[in-house]
């Protein structure tokens, strides 16, 4: 029933050291030990580690991931706090989705233009930023240069 650290690490596809590192960082709670001091994990530890890796791949830091993993309403009194934090995270997730969707559009366009063999000299991926709202000081004049 219980898993040893090496089994958990293999199942999650990470190094054993990484598990101990996450434990030190507080991302994994300290598991119970056997009488000889071996860590005994439940199977759900594997999911937790997989989530951590996935969230990292999405650009979250370990500190941010820790915050995500703390989001639960075990105590009704903490609800307002939890809700506020979840709202922030949700906004961040939606922002990332939007940015990735712009990338998706641009990459699809690039592939299409590739197939139609219409060369472009500039870097199309930068169009990703096109619809972002930087109200830039376009007209600003800089003098004294060269």
Partner DNA sequence: CTTGACTCTATACCATGGTATAGGGTTTAC
Partner DNA sequence: GTAAACCCTATACCATGGTATAGAGTCAAG
Q: How far apart are CA 58 and CA 68, in angstroms?
A: 13
Residue 106 CB neighbour total at 10 angstroms: 17
76 binds, among DNA, a second copy, none (CB under 5 to 8 A by kind): a second copy
Whichever of 30 and 131 has its CB closer to DNA, that residue is 30
The helix (run of H) or strand (run of E) holding residue 22 is: helix 16-25
What is the nearest approach in angstroms of DNA to the Cβ of residue 145?
A: 6
What is the nearest approach in angstroms of DNA to the Cβ of residue 2?
A: 11
First to last CA, the chain: 73
Handedness of CA 103, 107, 108, 112 (dihedral sign): positive
Q: How far apart are CA 41 and CA 84, in angstroms?
A: 32
Whichever of 44 and 74 has its CB closer to DNA, that residue is 44
Q: Which of 1, 29, 36, 122 binds DNA (CB under 7 A)?
A: 36
What is the nearest approach in angstroms of a second copy to the Cβ of residue 15?
A: 19
Residue 25 engages a second copy in binding (rule: CB under 8 A): no
Task: State the binding string over 51-90 for DNA (x if CB under 7 A, else -).
Answer: -x---x----xxx---------------------------
Q: Which of 1, 126, 137, 145 binds DNA (CB under 7 A)?
A: 145
HSE-up of residue 140 (Cα within 13 Å, Cβ side):
5
């Amino acid at each position: 029933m219980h898993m040893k650290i090496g089994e958990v690490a293999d199942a999650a596809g990470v190094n054993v050291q990484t598990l101990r590192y996450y434990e030190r960082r507080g991302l994994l709670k300290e598991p119970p030990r056997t009488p000889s001091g071996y860590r005994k994990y439940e199977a759900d530890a594997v999911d937790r580690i997989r989530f951590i890796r996935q969230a990292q791949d999405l650009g979250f830091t370990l500190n941010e991931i820790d915050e995500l993993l703390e989001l639960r309403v075990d105590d009704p009194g903490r609800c307002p706090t939890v809700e506020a934090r979840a709202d922030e995270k949700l906004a961040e997730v939606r922002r990332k989705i939007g940015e990735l969707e712009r990338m998706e559009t641009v990459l699809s366009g690039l592939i299409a233009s590739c197939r139609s063999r219409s060369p472009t000299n500039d870097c199309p991926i930068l169009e990703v930023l096109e619809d972002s709202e930087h109200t830039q000081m376009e007209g600003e004049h800089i003098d004294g240069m060269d």
